[in-house]
Amino acid sequence: MPDSRRPPNAASVALIDRDKVLLIQRAKKPYFGMWSLPGGRLESGETAEQAAEREILEEVGLRVWRLHPIRRMFLAEGRFVLQVFATEAFEGEIAVAAEEITAHRWVRLDEIGLMHTTPDLGEVVAGAFRIFDCS
């Protein structure tokens, strides 16, 4: 069992737009081909929140703020301690130029169960929707 005291080394964000969340399809391992929240690894000296802001800008071209921490989880056999955030505060136009993304899509919570996703994604997104009371 992974050590629950380990600090996060990755971060992701549930970007909420009314009744939908932005998902990306992963183009690299781990979780190649699966749908997930945008995000990635922390760089040296970054907090999880700083990494989340940077990764969202790099991966999908959106600036985010007012990040609410919603869950911390272990992925890829415990190699990653992922801090998941949620926000409705973002701006910009989606421009997927990142090589780690194959596609992006805005989806409703009830659609997630029909998709090939990373572990516990439906539960994580449901938690994000509860914060903003939009499920």
Place of tokens 């990142």: 98
Confidence of residue 102 (pLDDT cuts 50, 70, 90): very high
Distance, in Å, from the CA atom of 110 to the CA atom of 128, rounded to the nearest integer, reads: 14
| Domains with residue ranges and CATH for the chain | 10-132 (3.90.79.10)
Q: What angle do CA 78, 98, 34 make, to 5 degrees?
A: 45
Place of tokens 């539960």: 123
pTM, to two decimals: 0.90
Q: Residue 11 has which token pair?
A: 């971060």
3-41 pLDDT, tens digit per residue, is 557 788 889 999 999 999 999 999 988 789 999 999 999
